[in-house]
């Protein structure tokens, strides 16, 4: 965090809501938040699943994903990961293509020219931070942002069973602006 003025990444947009919360945090609070992982791998029997905030860059090995990309990625364009959805392709579509290339009749990635999956046994990703597209349920990716903050629903993905459960957001007050 220190390399970007204490913010999570260089182009972090600190809006009024973020600023209000940030000014109330102590240095200990910040230190605690910095200990959280950007990628969560699930325990057996769900080791083929990982959880990220935003998305992944399918062209990079998992351990080379930047925290910024994991937090903001919605699309991949010619310059790489972006939070914009008007250019490039949805990262989860590229992910599905990459996994289809790497899996040949099996349930886990088996190799590839630019990604070493020999020690990484995941292929499915749960993510959020894509309210514009809302709920996105695909075979290898589950986008759970169902627009609760904008008056939509809050959605959970339940393992085992790979089912979703949604509840409406009755306490939505309209104070959050679409980004």
User: Which residues, 6+ apart, have CB-to-CB distance to 109 below 8 Å?
Assistant: 99, 102, 103, 115, 117, 120, 121, 123
pTM of the model: 0.78
Contact of 104 with 112, CB cutoff 8 Å: no
**Sign of the CA dihedral with 119 first, then 141, 155, and 20 last:** positive
Q: What is the mean pLDDT of residues 157-164?
A: 95
Per-residue pLDDT of 15-31, as tens digits, reads 777 788 888 888 899 88
Domain spans in the chain, listed from the N-terminal domain onward: 1-36, 39-146
Find the range with the poorest average confidence among 96-100, 106-110, 127-131, 145-149: 106-110
Asked whether the predicted pLDDT for residue 85 surpasses 80, the reply is: yes
Strands lying side by side in the sheet with 49-52: 39-41, 49-52, 124-127, 141-143, 136-137
The predicted structure's pLDDT at residue 115:
42
d(CA 98, CA 151): 34
Per the prediction, the chain carries an average pLDDT of 82
Alpha-helical regions (H) of the chain: 16-24, 27-34, 67-72, 91-102
Residues in the chain: 179
Domain 39-146 class?
A: alpha beta
Instruction: Output the six-digit token pair for 164.
Output: 């979703």
Instruction: Output the six-digit token pair for 60.
Output: 């990079």
């Amino acid at each position: 965090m220190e390399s970007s003025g204490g913010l999570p990444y260089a182009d972090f947009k600190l809006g009024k809501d973020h600023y209000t919360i940030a000014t109330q945090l102590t240095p200990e609070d910040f230190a605690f938040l910095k200990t959280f992982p950007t990628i969560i791998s699930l325990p057996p029997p769900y080791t083929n699943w990982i959880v990220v905030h935003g998305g992944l860059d399918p062209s990079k090995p998992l351990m080379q994903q930047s925290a910024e990309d994991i937090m903001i990625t919605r699309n991949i364009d010619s310059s790489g990961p972006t939070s914009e959805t008007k250019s490039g392709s949805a990262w989860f579509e590229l992910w599905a293509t990459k996994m289809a290339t790497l899996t040949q009749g099996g349930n886990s990635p088996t190799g590839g020219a630019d990604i070493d999956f020999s020690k990484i046994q995941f292929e499915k990703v749960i993510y959020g931070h894509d309210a514009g597209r809302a709920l996105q349920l695909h075979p290898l990716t589950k986008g759970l942002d169902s627009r609760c903050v904008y008056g939509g629903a809050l959605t959970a993905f339940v393992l085992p069973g790979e089912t979703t459960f949604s509840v409406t957001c009755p306490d939505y007050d309209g104070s959050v602006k679409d980004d």
